[in-house]
Amino acid sequence: MASYGFKLIKIELREGQRQPIMDFGECQYLQRVHEDVTAAIKRREEALAAEEKARKAAESAVDAAESSPAEDGAASASTPSDQDETLMKDEVTGEVAVASSDDVINEAEDEPSLDKTAKKVSVVRFEESIALKQAVLLRVQYGKVGDHEKGVDPEGRKKDTDLKKLATTRSYRIMLIAPPQGSTGFLAAEVISRSHAAKQIPRRLFQAARDHRFKIKPFGPIADSAAVKKLVKDGSVKEVQLFKTFIPSDSQTPVAEDVVLTFKIGEKKSQVARILQRVSNWIPRGASDSPDEEEKEALSPVQEAHSLASILWSDLEDTEFDDVKVKVTNAKQNRTLQPLDMREGFIYDLGESPVSDDDFCLKVNEAASVLFSNHEMDMEADWYLPKPSK
């Protein structure tokens, strides 16, 4: 079962690696991004149309050659030769499409520690760009090449699909937020079951740029950590969810199943206090926290799930779970916390079902608006609404 959320990441704008920080408004960066992405989508559509036209022409040539005897010395019709191309496969539709070179992100080039001979490749394909008043909302297909080995038909009727050279993708939303004047902005990245495209977006936007060399530099996830700390200190636990993936022993086809065990927490004060004490170690680091607060012992979702399972029900002490979520509430807000929030960055919860673009923008506004002043971002109250058409 997929879970949905988003991260907020602080960004700055530069023109070249060692160049000074640029002003988002003076560079008209949001407008440039919208134009770059729109142009990239158009180029892809034109390339696919040309490819389809060439394919039909090749098929017509083959049909014509087969319907008439070939003469000696005449050139035989041929179909396009196979090429070593990077492909994408949509996890939902199963559609496979050729990815242009701009869509391919070689992560080894951005990380000196990685082996340059090893192909660690991601694919980021733009699908849509929507201009907002002080932001741009992007929709991308994102996935890693070779992330999965085979596509298996659970009914066993179709032949397995080799996925080792394909990028199995999902659709993700990215929102770039920047003030009319200022050098600090936010990147809101949609998270689906902890997977997101935030890391690859700066490089992909840079590859899409045509008349400028501006590139955003991320500075890691941020959160209103003070609010989360206060919530954990003064709030109560609404429910705890334990997650486990297993393969049924009586299943003829080995298909993994996800199980969620939900505990509704009432007024059991002893349980609530012990749960909140454990959750207090999950709080994300905020911009105002000291460096020492970041150097906490790494948490294990498995261990944290086991600890909370033992608190909730003694019969579960010998059961191993994969992850855990705790929903904490007070009079003003509700938050869902997970063990890796402190290390990987706080994930703002969107629930267990996809949300509309309007709801996504509203939720990002709720989270980002309380952080604008701390980062000297002078934003209008309706910054997240669609930009009026001229």
131-171 residue pLDDT tens: 999 999 999 999 988 888 888 888 888 888 888 888 889 99
Mean pLDDT along residues 376-390 = 90
Residue type, 103: D
Decide: residue 256, CB within 10 A, 0-12 exposed, 13-18 middle, 19+ buried. exposed
> Is 245 a residue whose pLDDT tops 50?
yes
In the chain, what is the straight-line distance between the N-terminal and C-terminal CA atoms, in Å?
42
CA–CA gap between residue 36 and residue 367 (Å, rounded) = 28
> Is 97 a residue whose pLDDT tops 50?
no
Q: Nearest-CA neighbor of 237 among 197, 268, 193, 204?
A: 268
Q: What is the pLDDT of residue 101?
A: 66
Cα 365 to Cα 23, 224, 383: the distances in Å are 22, 13, 8
Burial 367-387 (b: 16+ CB within 10 A, else e): bbeebbeebebebeeebbbee
pTM flag (> 0.85): no
Q: Which residues contact 102 (CB under 8 A, 6 or more apart)?
A: 40, 204, 207, 208
How many percent of the chain have pLDDT more than 70? 78
Q: What is the pLDDT of residue 292?
A: 45
Long-range CB contacts for residues 74-83, cutoff 8 Å, separation at least 24: 80/54, 80/55
Alpha helices in 25-143 (DSSP H): 29-67
Q: DSSP letter for 112, please.
A: T
CA–CA gap between residue 187 and residue 158 (Å, rounded) = 41
Q: What is the pLDDT of residue 359?
A: 96
Q: Nearest-CA neighbor of 360 among 370, 345, 350?
A: 350
Coarse DSSP helix, strand, coil percentages of the chain, rounded to the nearest 5 percent: 30, 30, 40
Work out whether strand 236-246 and strand 214-222 pair parallel, antiparallel, or are unpaired: unpaired
Contact 226, 287 (CB under 8 A): no
Domain boundaries, the chain: 4-61+84-222, 226-287+298-344
Cα 37 to Cα 4, 136, 168, 206: the distances in Å are 25, 10, 22, 10
Instruction: Dig out the tokens for 61 from the structure.
Output: 């040539």
Q: What is the pLDDT of residue 69?
A: 62
> Is 86 a residue whose pLDDT tops 70?
no
pLDDT band of residue 107 (cuts 50, 70, 90) is: low
Decide: residue 49, CB within 10 A, 0-12 exposed, 13-18 middle, 19+ buried. exposed
pLDDT digits (tens, 9 = 90+) for 275-312: 988 888 887 655 444 444 444 556 788 999 999 999 99
Residues in the chain: 390
Higher pLDDT, 382 or 293: 382
H or E stretch covering 361: helix 357-369
CA–CA gap between residue 262 and residue 277 (Å, rounded) = 20
Q: Which residues are registered as beta bridge partners of 98? A: 87
CA–CA gap between residue 97 and residue 352 (Å, rounded) = 29
Instruction: Dig out the tokens for 171 from the structure.
Output: 């659709």
Q: Which residue has the tokens 């530099």?
A: 217
Instruction: Dig out the tokens for 311 from the structure.
Output: 């608190």
Q: What is the pLDDT of residue 137?
A: 98
